[in-house]
Chains A and B, each alone.
Chain A
């Protein structure tokens, strides 16, 4: 097999190739989430009426998983790729490409899940309610489901960026985990602004900001998310291109 990689193109090739490889690796996880989201309500319905969206839980757990996967990739691959003769800049660009593709791809699956669940729940005559509050927001039509889920891809990119930033910071320095102090509240606040049902997770962290962000509307919140992503990605890149490779513990 001849080596066709060129020096100018390898950062893009690496980022692009990592995407299908990762999809393949996590295909089982995605499938498991879909199957669980279909089966668990079916089991629950044997005892009581189903009045909560299972996919809502899967899709929101997915946000954290996206962050962990991208952060983990940045953390483990940085030394490996520098050892392979990549510059940190090349690595950062490759991870940016991969992160964007992977987050958008899983985000689109999240939307598809909500729409699929709408059809499933309506066929079974169950209530598709989303949110952590009880009662949550009830999705009554495909249109409502789509309206609720439409910003999920952006939300996934946001969490992915947060993960990359934390992964880079933790690699860069032993006290890098302190980056959670700004990153987690900001991510939750922006996600909270984008979501009609609030951020999933420790939402008490953002009860102060939601007073302001609730008035932004979908597109104002989306703009805030884009800003947060751009700034977060820039900071992550700055950390990566400055990182020394850690010595091995012999």
Chain B
């Protein structure tokens, strides 16, 4: 009953600017997907399309295999929680929560229980809440909607670290109780990486990568050692970044190294280190060549090889 998601050749323009360019993407039902991208990469636009907040300029947006725009059977089961939530600011917290009852699936008891646990005062007005509490309120309403597709768009931004932690935990518990499709949009990847099953990286309005989280975790490696030896090992691999310090060189490659390559590298005195998802993401989405205010040959040198892939 969870909803799958599919975009076909979707382009969305704001005036002359393309926020999304010819995006084709399928997300499987019943999984937690991470939507990663820098600010302005098109994450919010993509989610807005899935929640029927917007209509694409061209292309097709399907949720559960059905066109989502103005489709009451679908949108009543789709929840997009934006940072700060969508509330009538002059309304009380309690009545804002109760507005959720417009969804047949909404669980008021659960929402009130969460409000108590996260210490959101019910009798206050929404505009009297701090940014953090407001984000929590939005997250609570999203969880209690008990939708088949729930999307959180950078909702964690206003929350402090312990609250974020508690929110992720609650999200995971809810997900295990009741399998449904979740999309978490963020640029703080390491924090959510363990919760994810699939990862989509959006960059400049295009889908740059779409893989299982494991594929990402094994995708990169850092090679450190004598410059010549490192270059020999890295030859033919996609180099994301490189750095030199004297005769020592360190390169980040976007490739899973096989046992043979590891053996060869270590024999040549090249150390192989892991690349965290966050670092990989930064390398993948950092514009190259990047302008250096103080050109120092010893510092990180941008590399030219980059391949943008579109599509899943």
Contacts and interface: CB of A to CB of B under 8 A. Distances in A.
Q: Check A-B contact in the complex, CB < 8 A.
A: yes
Contacts of A14: 102
Nearest to A85: B76
A77 to B, nearest CB: 7
Contacts of A87: 52, 70-72, 75
A88 B88 contact: no
A68 to B, nearest CB: 15
A72 to B, nearest CB: 11
Interface in A214-233: none
B34 interface: no
A5 B70 contact: no
A76 interface: yes
B102 A84 contact: yes
B83 A3 contact: no
Interface stretch (B103-111, B211-219, B298-306): B103-111
Interface in A73-94: 76-77, 79-90
B55 to A, nearest CB: 7
A3 B72 contact: no
B247 to A, nearest CB: 46
A247 B71 contact: no
Contacts of A84: 86, 99-100, 102-103
B76 to A, nearest CB: 4
A1 B111 CA distance: 12
Contact of A5 (B83, B84, B102): B102
Interface string A232-250: 0000000001001101101
A83 B86 CA distance: 7
B103 A85 contact: yes
B82 A83 contact: yes
A175 interface: no
Nearest to A9: B104
A105 B51 CA distance: 36
A88 B102 contact: no
Contacts of B85: 83
B23 interface: no
B102 A83 contact: no
B118 interface: no
B80 interface: yes
Interface string A15-58: 00000000000000000000000000000000000000000000
Given A7-B76, A90-B72, A80 B99 contact: yes
Contacts of B103: 5, 84-85
B84 A248 contact: yes
B212 to A, nearest CB: 30
Contact of B104 (A1, A7, A88, A247): A7
A42 to B, nearest CB: 34
10 contacts: A1-B109, A3-B108, A5-B103, A81-B102, A82-B53, A83-B51, A84-B103, A85-B145, A241-B70, A245-B54
